[in-house]
Structure 1
Amino acid sequence: MSNTVLFCVAAFALLIVWSAWHGYRKTGSSADFLVAGRAAPWWLIAGSLIASTVSGATFFGLISSYHRTGFSAHWIPLGVAFSWLVICFAVGPRLRRYGRFTIPEYFADRFSSPGLRVVFAAVTVIWMVFLLSTVLVQGGLLFGELWGWNYGTSV
């Protein structure tokens, strides 16, 4: 691996650590963490939500779907876009009206059941483990192809 690649990876890692530390110092409540203290412009929050949803799993999955089925795979991103519109205009205002930031918070308060938060947290953790594993596999494949590394080193 060249020194340039190592330098770029290290510089990017330092940028991420600095950004995380800077954000941590400015975060005082869950509103600050989840919705930037309601001070960020709408386009920044929308872009953040879309970027976190359209991950490597979606990117590589869409490429595979396009390769297998052709143009008809365009229904996948159109369906995702439609679901975002439903969330933004049907679910979002209700969450905001109840003063909640997440769907688990809303359901726990709506049905007076703190246990729902635990159930949703467990489901989210399991989902994130699978999502992270797919991103690691894809990253390993990508870095292996880009830099000729073996799969284990790439992951």
Structure 2
Amino acid sequence: MGSFGTLDIIIFVAYALLILGVGLWVSRTKKGETKSAEDYFLAGKSLPFWAIGASLIAANISAEQFIGMSGSGFAIGLAIATYEWMAALTLIVVAKYFLPIFIKQGLFTIPQFIEKRFNTNLKTILAIFWLALFIFVNLTSVLFLGSKALDTILGSGDGSMMMYYIIGLALFAAAYSIWGGLSAVAWTDVIQVVLLVVGGFITTLIALHHVTPDGGILNGLNHVIDTAGDKFHMIIKRDNPEFMNLPGIGVLIGGMWVANLYYWGFNQYII
């Protein structure tokens, strides 16, 4: 089973059961009660600010980041983090100017806003478009990349088990998120963000310690800076072979704002 040992399997299964258990537990309702649209989409407006923040981070991080952006980080360097620095600024704009409108109008979804601003037909068109986009682009890529990772560490790595992993990941996520709505998603996101931050920090320290024969975190950091110092720049110069993938200062004051305003302000996946 790849490089997975008994302890790895125990941790993996325990994590999956923890996420599933927490999701189902927070989704429970009292006997005879039913969830309203507000309960489902807004978690009954009961989430604290730190849980909302954690859920935003977790919603933004998936297989695309673990696999795709890791590869981009290797090829481009620290500049790929520009997306997240710009996201922080964009969230301030969204919180200041967009969210007050959504809250005042009592809007749960972007199609609701389109219906109020324009008409029902346009709302229906947008809803169908977004469903198709999320199902056939977003979800398929996330499930494929997630199954690719599982096939590499759990299976033979030849892709023979990927379809089973795709189905398993889809059923696992649906088991609590569809049933529990935003409340289940948000509270499981809190757990995942804690593990992501703590695990990422520990992994970084371990990697730096082992990157040199002599060991040591500081030695490792100095070695990385000495051997790959050009990867530590936030702005890519025009002569960089990766310039067209992240075109320097132009992307900061241009297209990235458009993409971020859509993603963080109008994207139902985030809203």
TM-score range normalised by the length of the shorter chain: 0.7 to 0.9
CA separation in 1, counterparts of 2:152 and 2:76?
24
What is the aligned counterpart of 2:49 among 18, 23, 42?
42
Task: Pick closer, same or farther for the CA change 1:30–1:49 going to 2, 3 Å.
Answer: farther
Contact 1:60–1:138, Cα closer than 8 Å, also in 2: yes
CA separation in 2, counterparts of 1:136 and 1:100?
29
Matched, 1:119 2:125: yes
2:107 matched residue in structure 1:
100
Task: Pick closer, same or farther for the CA change 1:29–1:109 going to 2, 3 Å.
Answer: same
User: C-alpha offsets along residues 37-95 of structure 1, whole Å, 9 cap, x if unaligned?
Assistant: 11110111221132112222133222122111112212121122223222222211110
2:161 matched residue in structure 1:
153
Matched, 1:128 2:134: yes
TM-score scaled by length of structure 1: 0.79
Amino acid aligned to 2:161: T
Task: Pick closer, same or farther for the CA change 1:9–1:90 going to 2, 3 Å.
Answer: same
Task: Pick closer, same or farther for the CA change 1:114–1:19 going to 2, 3 Å.
Answer: farther
1:63 matched residue in structure 2:
70
Task: Pick closer, same or farther for the CA change 1:49–1:115 going to 2, 3 Å.
Answer: farther
Provide the aligned length of Structure 1 versus Structure 2. Answer: 154
Kindly name which structure, 1 or 2, has the bigger radius of gyration based on alpha carbons.
2
For residue 98 of structure 1, report the CA deviation from its aligned partner: 0.8
CA separation in 2, counterparts of 1:68 and 1:83?
26
Percent of pairs identical after alignment? 27
For residue 4 of structure 1, report the CA deviation from its aligned partner: 7.2
Task: Pick closer, same or farther for the CA change 1:69–1:21 going to 2, 3 Å.
Answer: closer
Contact 2:155–2:161, Cα closer than 8 Å, also in 1: no
Contact 1:140–1:152, Cα closer than 8 Å, also in 2: no
What is the aligned counterpart of 2:35 among 25, 28, 32?
28
Task: Pick closer, same or farther for the CA change 1:24–1:138 going to 2, 3 Å.
Answer: same
For residue 17 of structure 1, report the CA deviation from its aligned partner: 5.1
SS at match of 1:101: coil
Amino acid aligned to 1:77: E
TM-score scaled by length of structure 2: 0.49
More helix by percentage: 1
* Aligned-pair Cα RMSD in Å: 2.6
CA separation in 2, counterparts of 1:13 and 1:73?
30
Name structure 1 gaps, 5 residues minimum: none
CA separation in 1, counterparts of 2:22 and 2:122?
33
The aligned runs of 1:69-88 (5 Å cut-off) are 69-88=76-95
Amino acid aligned to 1:74: A
For residue 103 of structure 1, report the CA deviation from its aligned partner: 1.7
Higher relative contact order (CA 8 A, sep 6+): 2
Amino acid aligned to 1:117: K
For residue 8 of structure 1, report the CA deviation from its aligned partner: 6.3
Amino acid aligned to 1:146: I
Task: Pick closer, same or farther for the CA change 1:101–1:59 going to 2, 3 Å.
Answer: same
CA separation in 1, counterparts of 2:66 and 2:54?
16
Which is worse superposed, 94-103 or 46-55? 46-55
